[in-house]
């Protein structure tokens, strides 16, 4: 007898265009803010940028590999995100501080899982891209509000 857990499925997925999320942590009194970080030109350059579809797909693929950690794909599984990856050049050049990939399989009537991820219809692959020495990461600002 074959059980669903031993079957392999190949899913093709469609992802919406990327969205930008920005925030300023006004709660943390220990954050030093310099004018460069609040420069409106920096935000405008990010919002007006256009990351090509090929790069978007590569980032989503790498994020999903890191999140689900499939047995046979070792390229991104152990060290994503890494500044040495060509696919992340545009993202780091724009000074992004994080990447989120949301996966929802409600319409497929299935729950995605791996050996390291519990079965669920909703997954959020969240990765901090910031250099801790230069600036607090996007996701840290939500939790470190001393």
Q: pTM of the predicted model, to two decimals?
A: 0.67
Direct distance between the N- and C-terminal alpha carbons of the chain, in angstroms, rounded to an integer: 56
Q: Quote the CA–CA distance of 122 and 99 in Å, as a whole number.
A: 17
In the numeric block, the tokens 């989120």 are attached to 100
Percentage helix, strand, coil for the chain under 3-state DSSP, each rounded to 5 = 30, 10, 60
Which band of pLDDT confidence, cut at 50, 70 and 90, is reported for residue 117?
A: very high
41-95, pLDDT tens digit by residue? 666 777 777 777 887 888 888 888 889 998 888 777 777 777 777 777 776 776 6
Instruction: Return the pLDDT at 2.
Output: 56
1-55, pLDDT tens digit by residue? 555 666 677 778 887 777 776 665 556 555 555 555 555 666 677 777 777 788 7
100-116, pLDDT tens digit by residue? 889 998 888 888 989 89
Contact 120, 2 (CB under 8 A): no
Phi-psi region of 112 (alpha: psi -120 to 50; beta: other; left: phi over 0): beta
Instruction: Return the pLDDT at 47.
Output: 73
Q: Quote the CA–CA distance of 42 and 48 in Å, as a whole number.
A: 10
Contact 111, 105 (CB under 8 A): yes
């Amino acid at each position: 007898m074959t059980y669903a857990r031993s079957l392999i499925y190949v899913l093709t997925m469609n992802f919406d265009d990327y969205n930008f999320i920005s925030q300023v942590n006004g709660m943390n009194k220990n954050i030093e803010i310099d004018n460069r970080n609040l420069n409106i030109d920096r935000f405008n350059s990010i919002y007006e940028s256009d990351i090509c579809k090929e790069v978007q797909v590569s980032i989503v693929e790498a994020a999903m590999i890191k999140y689900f950690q499939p047995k046979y794909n070792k390229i991104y599984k152990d060290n994503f995100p890494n500044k040495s990856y060509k696919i992340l050049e545009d993202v780091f050049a724009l000074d992004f501080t994080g990447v989120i990939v949301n996966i929802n399989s409600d319409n497929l009537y299935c729950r995605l899982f791996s050996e390291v991820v519990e079965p669920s219809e909703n997954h959020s692959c969240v990765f901090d891209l910031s250099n801790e020495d230069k600036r607090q990461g996007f996701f840290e600002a939500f939790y470190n509000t001393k």
